[in-house]
């Protein structure tokens, strides 16, 4: 191992940069696609807005739990490190394997496919246009991150600032210039299952805030700033979501919102006229780039931590100090993402398949990670400067119940892609025993 590959992460992320990564991951394509499904499961405008407010509050509760974990256990491995410390190397390895093969790479492919769909409306590259754009996106952004964390961080700051500004402008203009919309009460049968379905898609739109803990080893003054980063980031996101959804209601009305398949285009057409479709395509492309780049930044950190801790995989546990970047981990992540894009090119619904592929594995490990908070509390690991989640144990228990419901829903109400994701996770078990045995044999030789 060369000297440049034997280093460890440098603390280069300020609170503002870390917030930009979180906002960049969360505020992406979902807000332009999922609100219509939420509207179909609501009875009134106030009911609709309340779902987005509750979704923000649930996410903030989860962030409070994660903030305590990250200040107690700051590490580039994030959830991988928490799970390993709480439950042992088997669970930690399975999580990292699932993140490398399912969660993170599937999320990168998802964002890239959506970018491809909208880029193809501007310039079509042929029958596989979306997949070609997706492949170019993953290749380019992986190359940017290999170039170094500094340039990828700076690009992320710029894209997040741009997309937040665009959403604020669209939200404010839409809210203040939209026509008067008459309150529309839903006359159908609204049951608890309808409310539950709405929350699934609301929380999917808020998904990704947990990625902030992967920057804990690179965040300046982590014990003081991690809770601030997570809470401020989610507060900004919640305000943005309520603003843009209020604009949807003001401009489109609840009934049109329920039936629209391109709500972003409908909104910008009403605000900017016939150029709205092009403007929305550009907005979604920027959002997808921001989401994909931020996901690539945080995803490679888990791969690096896995290679660092398992000698059989040490080639992905190298940290290049010259570029402050886990180059091999980025290459592995990029390669798997490209493989998923290649497979997705031959499915009719690549976007929905990627959502199904990632959801059960994602919520399973979010649940286990939150439970680990109780494990560490029972061990009485405490220092004066650690952040502690308020109203313990009520706060983590509320979030655990939310995770359990979403895990159930992601298994019961998704397609074949969910089973493929679960199968890939289980493949990690024989890989773990191989890696452990090989590492043990190398130790004795």
DSSP conformation letters of 102-152: IIHHHHHHHHHHHHHHHHHHHS--STTHHHHHHHHHHHHHHHHHHH-HHHH
Question: Of the ranges 41-55, 156-170, 261-275, 301-315, which one carries the lowest mean pLDDT score?
Answer: 261-275
The pLDDT assigned to 443 comes to 58
Task: Judge whether 418 and 355 are in contact, CB under 8 Å.
Answer: no
Between 300 and 56, the more confident residue is: 56
CATH architecture of the domain 3-440 equals: Up-down Bundle (1.20)
Span 62-96, pLDDT tens digits: 989 998 888 888 776 788 889 999 999 899 999 98
Across the range 42-71, mean pLDDT stands at 89
Can you tell me whether residue 13 is helix, strand or coil? strand
Predicted pLDDT of residue 103 = 87
pLDDT at 255: 86
Q: What is the pLDDT of residue 6?
A: 54
Q: What is the DSSP letter of 347?
A: S
Burial of 336 (0-12, 13-18, 19+ CB in 10 A): buried
pLDDT band at 57 (very low <50, low <70, confident <90, very high): very high
Higher-pLDDT residue of 189 and 288 is 288
What span, in angstroms and rounded, lies between the C-alpha atoms of 24 and 436? 36
pLDDT digits 0-9 by tens, 225-246: 888 888 998 999 999 899 889 8
CA–CA separation, 143 and 136 (whole Å): 11
Q: Distance between CA atoms of 95 and 214, rounded to whole angstroms?
A: 14
Q: Mean pLDDT highest for which of 173-182, 323-332, 340-349?
A: 323-332
pLDDT at site 135 = 94
pTM: 0.78
Work out the percent of the chain whose per-residue pLDDT is above 90.
Answer: 21
For residues 206-226, give the mean pLDDT: 79
pLDDT at residue 441 in the model: 67
Statement: residue 192 has pLDDT above 50? no
């Amino acid at each position: 191992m060369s000297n440049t590959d034997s280093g460890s992460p440098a603390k280069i992320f300020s609170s503002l940069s870390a917030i930009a990564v979180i906002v960049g991951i969360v505020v992406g394509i979902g807000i332009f696609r999922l609100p219509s499904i939420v509207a179909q499961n609501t009875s009134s405008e106030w009911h609709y807005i309340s779902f987005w407010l509750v979704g923000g509050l649930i996410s903030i509760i989860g962030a409070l739990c994660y903030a305590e974990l990250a200040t107690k256990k700051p590490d580039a491995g994030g959830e991988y490190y928490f799970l390993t410390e709480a439950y042992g190397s088997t669970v930690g390895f399975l999580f990292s394997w699932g993140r490398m093969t399912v969660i993170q790479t599937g999320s990168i492919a998802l964002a890239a496919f959506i970018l491809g769909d909208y880029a193809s409306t501007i310039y079509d590259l042929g029958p596989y246009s979306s997949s070609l754009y997706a492949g170019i996106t993953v290749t380019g952004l992986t190359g940017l991150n290999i170039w170094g964390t500094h340039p990828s961080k700076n690009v992320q700051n710029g894209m997040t600032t741009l997309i937040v500004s665009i959403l604020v402008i669209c939200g404010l203009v839409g809210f203040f210039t939209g026509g008067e919309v008459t309150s529309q009460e839903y006359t159908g049968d609204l049951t608890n299952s309808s409310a539950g379905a709405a929350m699934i898609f609301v929380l999917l739109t808020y998904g990704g805030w947990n990625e902030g803990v992967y920057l804990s080893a690179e965040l300046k003054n982590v014990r003081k700033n991690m809770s601030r980063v997570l809470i401020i980031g989610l507060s900004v996101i919640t305000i943005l979501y309520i603003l843009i959804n209020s604009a949807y209601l003001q401009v489109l009305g609840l009934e049109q919102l329920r039936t629209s398949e391109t709500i972003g285009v409908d909104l910008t057409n009403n605000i900017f006229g016939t150029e709205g479709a092009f403007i929305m395509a550009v907005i979604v492309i920027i959002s997808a780039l921001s989401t994909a780049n931020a996901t690539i930044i945080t995803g490679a950190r888990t791969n690096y931590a896995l290679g660092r801790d398992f000698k059989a995989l040490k080639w992905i546990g190298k940290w290049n100090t010259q570029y402050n970047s886990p180059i091999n981990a980025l290459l592995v992540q990029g390669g798997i993402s490209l493989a998923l894009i290649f497979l997705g090119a031959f499915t009719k619904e690549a976007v929905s398949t990627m959502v199904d592929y990632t959801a059960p594995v994602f919520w399973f490990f979010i649940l286990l990670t939150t439970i680990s908070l109780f494990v560490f509390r029972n061990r009485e690991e405490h220092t004066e400067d650690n952040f502690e989640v308020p109203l313990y144990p009520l706060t983590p228990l509320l979030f655990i119940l939310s995770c359990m419901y979403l895990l159930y829903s992601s298994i019961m109400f998704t397609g074949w892609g969910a089973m493929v994701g679960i199968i890939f996770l289980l493949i990690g078990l024989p890989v773990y025993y191989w890696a452990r045995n090989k590492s043990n044999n190398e130790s004795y030789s």
